[in-house]
Structure 1
Amino acid sequence: MPQEHSTDKGRVAERLLASIDLIDASQACALLRIDADDPEGVLQAMAREHGVIALIQNGRIRLPLFQFDTANGRVFSVVRDILRLRPARISNLRLCYWLTRAHAGFGCAPADRFGKDDAAILAAFSRYIEPERHG
C-alpha cells in the first residue's frame, strides 16, 4: 500500500506541474536580465535566499512563470514576502498549488492578482498557514 501511495503522490505532482507554466533557469535569467554562466546556480541561490519559487522537474530546476513581472523584468515582491512567511511544512509544490487554484476571496487564483492585491494575498496566505486549533 505505501508504494501505491507514493505513486499516487507522484502523479499528483506531475499533474500539478503540467498545469503550471514553467520556465527553465536560462529563461528565468533572461527574463530577469541576468547574464550568468551558470543560470541554474544563480536561481538555486535565489531560491535559498527566498527570492524565487523553484521546483525540480526531471532533475532540473524549473520556475513557475506566474512569479515573474515580465513587463518589468523582476520577481513580484509579494513572492519574497510569501516565501518568508511560509512555514517549513509547506513545500514549494504545495505553495504553487495554493497560488494557482481559485480562491474565494479573489474569484481567481492568488497568482493572477500578483502586483494588484499583494496585501490581500499575504493576508489570505497567513490565514492558510495558521495552525489548526481544536477545542
Structure 2
Amino acid sequence: MPSENFSHKARVAERLLASLDLIDASQACALLRIETDDPGATMQAMARDDAVIALVQNGKTMLPLFQFDTGNGVIFDVVRDILRLRPARISNLMLCYWLTRAHVDFDGAPGAWVRER
C-alpha cells in the first residue's frame, strides 16, 4: 500500500505543477538580469536564502511566475516575508497550492493579491 500512496502523491504534485505558470532557472535569471553560468545553482541558492520560491519539475529547478514583477524585473518583496513566516512543515509545493487557490478571506487567490500590491 505505501507505493500506492506515493504514486497518488506524485500524481497530485504533477497536476499541481501543471496548473502553475512556471519558468525555468535560465528564464528567471534573464528576467532578474542575473548573468551566471549556472542558473539552476543560482536560483537554488536564492531559494535556500528564502528569496524566491523554487520547485523541482522533472529534475529541473522551476519558479512560479506569480512571484515576479515581470515589468520591473524583480521578485515581489512580500515573497521573502511569506517564506520567512511559513511554518517549516509547509513545503514550497504546498505553499504554491495555497497561494494559487481561491480563498474567501482574500476574495480570490493570494498569489493574485501579491501581484496587485
Both proteins in one fold, TM over 0.5: yes
Q: Hey, what does 1:28 align to over in structure 2?
A: 28
Contact 2:67 2:115 in 1 (8 A): no
Matches within 5 A, 1:98-117: 98-117=98-117
Q: Report the structure number with the largest CA radius of gyration.
A: 1
* Equivalent in the alignment of 1:64: 64
**Gap runs ≥5 in structure 2:** none
- What is the identity, as a one-letter code, of the residue corresponding to 1:19? S
C-alpha RMSD of the superposition? 1.0
Asked whether the 8 Å contact 1:24–1:62 carries over to 2, the reply is yes
Other-structure match for 1:44: 44
Amino acid corresponding to residue 13 of structure 1 in structure 2: A
Count the aligned residue pairs.
Answer: 117
* Aligned-pair identity (%): 69
TM-score, normalising length: structure 1: 0.84
Counterparts of residues 69-108 of structure 1 (less than 5 Å)? 69-108=69-108
Q: Which amino acid aligns with 2:58?
A: N
Q: Report if the CA contact (8 A) 1:78-1:115 is conserved.
A: no
Q: Is the 8 A contact 1:24 1:61 kept in 2?
A: yes
Runs of 4+ aligned structure 1 residues displaced above 6 Å come to none
1:36, distance to aligned residue in structure 2 (A): 1.0
TM-score normalised to structure 2 length: 0.96
> Which residue is 2:9 aligned to?
9
Flag structure 1 segments of 5+ consecutive residues without an equivalent.
118-135
Q: Distance in 2 between matches of 1:116 and 1:70?
A: 12
Take 2:116 and 2:21, find their aligned partners in 1: how far apart are those partners? Answer: 20
